[in-house]
Amino acid sequence: MRSANAVSPLLRSLSRPHGFEPLRVEGRLPESLRGTLFRAGPGLFERFGTRIPHAFEADGAVTAVRFDGRGAWGASRIVESAGYREEEQAGRFLYTSAASWFDRMRVTRRGLSKTTGNTSTFLWRDRLFALMESGLLQEMDPATLETLAATDLGVVSSAFSAHPHRVASLRTTFNFGVRYGQRMSIDVYALPDDGVPSKLGTVEAPWHSMVHDFMATERHLILFVGPVKLNLLRAMLGLGDVTQLFQWKPELGARLIVVPLDAIDSPRTFELDPFWTWHFANAFEDAEGPCVDLCRYPEFSLEEIGELESNGPLPLLTRVKLDLKSGKAHEATLCDIPCDFPQVHPRVHGARYGTLFAQTERRGQDRVIPGVTRIDLERGASSEWTPPAGHLPSEPVLVPRGEAQDDAFVLDLVYDSTTDHSYVAVLDGQHLDGGPLATVHFEQAIPVTFHGCFAAAGDEPA
Ligand SMILES: [Fe+2]
């Protein structure tokens, strides 16, 4: 058993970065599973003899597994951003709270930041990007996972969040980016499937906060500002790490800001009881206004991230109906299995839906029981894969096979603490409880990853 102060095995640096090489396969890979899974997370926890204070400040790693119907090849590389290379050249941290106060102030004054790409991967057109909450898009070469240049796509002011969302019916991906000034401004962007990216406008937030995810429907963008306040003075003075900059202030309550796509300058703000969410499952338009489904935490915590087991607050899948006529919000719990990292079939992104997949965490009498679960909202039924004891799953990534919302392969990067290595479980979304069809094994542990995506063969970036 690890001591209380031991470092979680998921918060260790990637020990052997490498390009694509054959991976050991157990079971039988489906022949129709062809394409590449990409995932991103923090990859370097120590540099220059210093451990970074929090995973959110680490340089990222992108991990990929390519399937061709017969075998699998894996790669995992550090995001070697311009800031990372600048630090390598200097022989010390220049960015984040791991840097000296002098260096930190120097980059802050010059408005510079490091595009660590430590949170998610994003495919757009023929390009792969590693994303983080507070930086530009860090382009990566999907064929080799080598780091290319960061980009603003010609429109991004300063940040492009790690949670872009595509609305299938609009054939457009939306995203936001936060700017901190006298007030917190949220810039919103549209990336049409065919056409050029554009900035739709800017929404002013009620206070300086952390904004992680949002939702988009056919008619609205829905932004969440929780009762977490950024200590702007500390941030400006370069004092403290990420855990010391944000404070839980339940007395503020929470806000959902509904932004009409055809009237960005006329947002409607809904006040709710205090809660926190990292991730939304989906959103759709109802008769009275948008409905948003999110993983609702009773409070905010940064302590549990990357830990094998947590005693932190549990998230429950919750629907918030936003009535545009009455201005009232109504909340209802949809499922009593704690879950986060929800995913839905791409066909129903931004539309009415009935099925989602998520990473779940049941608390048994004496241990946490992690799983990957399909939750059928209409039937109230679910199907779950519970990996062996000591195996920790992550966010499920869907590879659609057909039109039905559960007709997908589910790819899940799992850390096996009993052997200290990571593998991808290939599951059938319609029969999760049957266990993996195949497992694909790295020879090493991959540090915690947060989010990923799948490029189907043929759609893969060249
Ligand atoms: Fe996230």
Inter-residue contact 163 to 141 (CB < 8 Å): no
How many A from CA of 90 to the centre of ligand 1? 31
Please tell me the predicted confidence (pLDDT) of residue 461: 56
How many A from CA of 312 to the centre of ligand 1? 17
The CA distance from 145 to 21, in Å, is 12
How many A from CA of 94 to the centre of ligand 1? 25
How many A from CA of 89 to the centre of ligand 1? 31
Q: How confident is the model over 257-308, as pLDDT tens digits?
A: 999 999 999 999 999 999 999 999 999 999 999 999 999 999 998 877 777 7
The CA distance from 134 to 117, in Å, is 10
How many A from CA of 396 to the centre of ligand 1? 13
Question: What's this model's pTM, rounded to 2 decimal places?
Answer: 0.95
How many A from CA of 311 to the centre of ligand 1? 20
Q: How confident is the model over 203-242, as pLDDT tens digits?
A: 999 999 999 999 999 999 999 999 999 988 887 777 778 8
Please tell me the predicted confidence (pLDDT) of residue 1: 41
How many A from CA of 453 to the centre of ligand 1? 13
- The residue ranges of the chain whose pLDDT is under 50 are 1-3, 462
CATH for the stretch 9-456: 2.120.10.30
Please tell me the predicted confidence (pLDDT) of residue 244: 83
Strands 316-322 and 214-216, by their bridges, are: unpaired
How many A from CA of 342 to the centre of ligand 1? 10
How many A from CA of 278 to the centre of ligand 1? 6
Please tell me the predicted confidence (pLDDT) of residue 238: 74
How many A from CA of 236 to the centre of ligand 1? 25
Q: How confident is the model over 49-81, as pLDDT tens digits?
A: 999 988 899 999 999 999 998 899 999 999 999
Please tell me the predicted confidence (pLDDT) of residue 460: 60
The domain spans of the chain are 9-456
How many A from CA of 102 to the centre of ligand 1? 31
How many A from CA of 250 to the centre of ligand 1? 22
Please tell me the predicted confidence (pLDDT) of residue 381: 67
Please tell me the predicted confidence (pLDDT) of residue 362: 87
How many A from CA of 326 to the centre of ligand 1? 31
